Amino acid sequence: MSAENSNTQSGIVIIGAGLAGWHVIDAIRSKDKDIPVTLVTADNGDRYHKPMLTMAISQNKSAADLVRATGEAAAEAAGVTLLANTHVKDIDAVNQKLQLTSTAQSDTTAIGYDKLVLAMGAHPIFPKSLPQDLVWHVNHIERFGQLQEQLATGSQHVAIIGAGMVGTEIAEDLLKAGHKVTLIDLNDAPLSQMLPPQATARIAQAVQSQGIEFLGGYQVTDVTRVDSDTDDSKLLVSYEPLARENDEAKTYEPLIVDHVIASAGLLVDDKLPTAAGVEFDRRTGIVVDAPTLRTNNANIYAIGDCMSINGVACRYVAPLRAQAATIADDILGNEHAGYDHKPPMIRLKNKAISVMVTGVPQASGNWQVKSDSADELIMDLLDDKEVVSATVTIKAPIIAKA
């Protein structure tokens, strides 16, 4: 049975040292240099720009190349207490205490807080057909670094499960790095959960024109080792077509690949929100009051991938600074106008095609064509009042003349 130590220092405690957590620290320190701030993170707390993970392999950048500052150096510069490689076992919201355990030791430590910020992000979805010990994800720099080392040995065949924004970006990045890529999705085209078929068909065409193999309308049923006696053996990816009315019979054979990457979406871990007693949904995130970013507990805030506003997950980088500034002002008791949530522009980072989306897109709905030519497609999504709620602009890439 582990011993329990107690640390009665309170102040602001932030759980999670990703972009969201560090943005909150930056915002607090810009307004108050002295208030005690403690950052709790399950990793070493290094600062890096996570969106770069989907572009770094083709640029031959290692995980170390992406680190802007070590967690220790960043914490010292900001004057905060860093509890690295530390897990939160429990949140006692009534007594405003956290139970912590370090990776290095089994002792449990209790620390208090006056205000708590949940910035622990979200975790990749691993369906039962994707065993975690055989499948990669690139949602964290440590796993990215391990994958990058494996891929640095030469051209390999990689299967990516999920053709959303991240999966489609990784596919192009790997292709540019010299690897063979197969992109598999339940839908008939990439980004089909976000955009209408007329738009996604262009994206699918652009992806395939590069040389990426796209398998749309298929579900992965199993991933197994071809030779379980060696660590570097091939992987067998079994998949089958989804049954749909009026579909022609599809032929399919299992893939044999070197690596499999899961990009099937994100879920918010339910352990900490449940312990804290805050309202949340595993798919969309912790529910917050939009103007203050407080949860239903006035002393607990949420930000970043683990947060949702009006039932919509907030998983984009652009609004983080404004969200962090609001949390800092609210915690410090400063007057503020409140966070004004505006959906950021969504931009696919692929070079094969330019895709920009504004508003709150959804695949179904009243999409109307504004412009349709070989070089450009612009569509508006109209709500029930015929007001534009989203716009997608797709353009062919500009090819430089020799």
Whether residues 157 and 242 share a domain: the answer is yes
Q: Is residue 130 pLDDT above 90, yes or no?
A: yes
Please identify, among 284, 299, 332, the residue that sits at the C-terminal boundary of a domain: 332
Note whether 244 and 276 are same-domain residues: no
Asked if residues 204 and 181 have their Cβ atoms less than 8 Å apart, the reply is: no
pLDDT at 228: 54
Are 94 and 32 contained in the same domain? yes
Q: Within a domain: residue 47? A: yes
Q: pLDDT tens digits for 309-319?
A: 999 999 999 99
pLDDT band, very low/low/confident/very high, at 5 (cuts 50, 70, 90): very low
High-pLDDT (> 70) share of the chain, %: 94
**Domain CATH for 369:** 3.30.390.120
In this prediction, residue 248 carries a pLDDT of 66
Token readout for 61 is 């950048």
Let me know if residue 92 belongs to a domain.
Answer: yes
Predicted pLDDT of residue 9: 56
State which residues form the domain around 47: 4-122+268-332
Domain count of the fold of the chain: 3
Specify the 3-state DSSP secondary structure of 85.
Answer: coil
Which whole number is the average pLDDT over 117-128? 94
In a domain, 400, yes or no: no
Q: Are residues 254 and 277 in the same domain?
A: no
Distance CA 41, CA 340 (A): 28
Judgement on whether residues 148 and 184 belong to the same structural domain of the protein: yes
H or E element at residue 76: helix 71-78
Backbone angles phi and psi of 259, in degrees to 5: -145, 155
% of the chain surpassing 90 pLDDT? 88
How many helices, marked H, and strands, marked E, lie in the chain? 8, 29
- Residue 22 within any structural domain of the chain: yes
| d(C-alpha 123, C-alpha 85), whole Å | 17
Separation of CA 72 from chain center: 24
Q: Residue 87 pairs with which residues in a beta bridge?
A: 101
pLDDT of residue 399: 52
Tell me which of 262, 280, 303 is where a domain ends: 262
Residues 6+ positions from 232 with CB-CB distance below 8 Å:
none
In the structure, what pLDDT confidence band is assigned to residue 339 with cuts at 50, 70 and 90? Answer: very high
Tell which residue, 286, 264, 266, 283, has the closest CA to residue 274. Answer: 286
State the chain's maximal CA–CA distance in angstroms.
71
Residue 337 included in any domain:
no
Residue 10 confidence (pLDDT): 78
Q: What is the pLDDT of residue 186?
A: 96
**CA 243 to CA 233: how far, in whole Å?**
32
Do 108 and 40 share a structural domain? yes
- The enclosing domain of 219 has a CATH number of 3.50.50.60
Same domain, 134 and 96: no
Confidence bin at 107 (pLDDT 50/70/90):
confident
Q: Does one domain contain both 98 and 116? A: yes
CA of residue 214 relative to chain centroid, distance: 22
Strands 266-267 and 123-124: antiparallel
Whether 402 is in a domain gets the answer no
